[in-house]
Amino acid sequence: MTLHMFDRLSVADRPVAPLRVAASVPPLAVEVRHLSKRYGGGGRGGMIYDLLAGRRASAPEPGGFWALDDVSFTVPQGGVMGIIGRNGSGKTTLMRILSRITAPTKGEARVRGRVGALLEIGSGFHPELTGRENIDFSGAILGMTQAEAREAVDAIIDFAEITDFLNTPVKHYSIGMYMRLAFAVSAHIRNEVLLLDEILAVGDERFQDKCRHRIKQLCGEGRTVLIISHTSALLEETCDSLLVLDKGKVAFHGDPYAGIDFYHRDILRLAPGGRLGADGRPYRASIKVGRVRGWRRARQG
């Protein structure tokens, strides 16, 4: 009887298929698919109107204006995504849709969990109420238990560093003080997703550092943060992905350092190091003008 090679191997010796360990992929906290937003166009618009009219997002009716045009991206739970783009590129419109203030014209935006949005200075707080009363009010609106609220209030007061003004109505706060309190409230009550629009720009550098640190803590706790900012360094240091919007479209989505580089070079057309060209014009434009002048000289000579 011939003994087959395989029979002689003990179970322990038998070749085994490599063990496949499923990499744990965090679930998506934000999912945006083919999102478009049109303003104007005689008040008409929306998916049904466009379907009936046989129109596409890139062909708005006269007078209509696409603030967002076919935007798609995802953010995993616990991720920090920065959003940058020139003025009017659609950043705030995107945040307003994610926070359900504005409805999209087309596409969909899904956010999983409770959303905290800090989008406009002046929104959220009641101007006549004191800082302390506004903190209590925000906790009550979000349905926190008394114990949760007590713990959050102490952390908020400690973080905002406005103890001397806690009993002053917030309408008398400076913009910086207001935003300190607003950020502190948003960052200490139980939101799963936090949307921040340019708010870190108003704080002093020490407070900005504190905010950055807090954002990292939030992500460590599995909370997701989306930040609009024009400050490249803040986005590079704080975010793990970056979305560059240009004229309502996604121009880049990926690594923050590569994204900032792309934004400076291809959108703002700045020289390396983020400066304008020697003649004060954007980098590429100055190269182009120089080339045209050289070409003219060559033709004349």
Ligand X SMILES: Nc1ncnc2c1ncn2[C@@H]1O[C@H](COP(=O)(O)OP(=O)(O)OP(=O)(O)O)[C@@H](O)[C@H]1O
Q: Kindly list the residues in this chain that would bind ligand X in the complex (CB under 6 A).
A: 39-40, 67, 85, 87-93
**Total H helices, total E strands in the chain:** 10, 9
* Residue length of the chain: 301
Q: Are 167 and 136 in contact (CB under 8 A)?
A: no
Q: Rounded CA gap, 81 and 209, in Å? A: 17
Tokens, residue 268: 């703002």
Residue placing its CB nearer to ligand X in the complex, 90 or 116? 90
As measured in angstroms, the least distance from the Cβ of 212 to ligand X is 21
Select 78 or 90, whichever has its Cβ closest to ligand X.
90
What DSSP designation does 121 have? T
Rounded to the nearest whole angstrom, what is the least distance from the CB of residue 145 to ligand X in the complex?
36
The distance of closest approach from Cβ of residue 92 to ligand X in the complex, given in angstroms and rounded to an integer, is: 3
Residue 46 vs 143, nearer CB to ligand X:
46
Provide, rounded to whole angstroms, the least separation between the CB of residue 193 and ligand X. Answer: 19
Cβ atoms of 222 and 24 within 8 Å: the answer is no
Which residue stretches of the chain are H helix? 5-8, 47-53, 91-98, 131-141, 146-160, 175-188, 205-220, 232-238, 256-262, 283-300
For ligand X, the closer of residues 38 and 210 by Cβ is 38
Closest distance between ligand X and the C-beta of residue 89, in Å?
4
Cβ nearer to ligand X, comparing 105 with 134: 105
Among residues 266, 241, 262, which one has the least CA distance to residue 32?
241
Give the separation between CA 216 and CA 222, rounded to whole angstroms.
10
CB nearer to ligand X: give 31 or 246: 246
What is the smallest separation between the CB atom of 230 and ligand X, expressed in angstroms?
7
Query: Cα-atom radius of gyration of the chain, to the nearest Å?
Result: 26
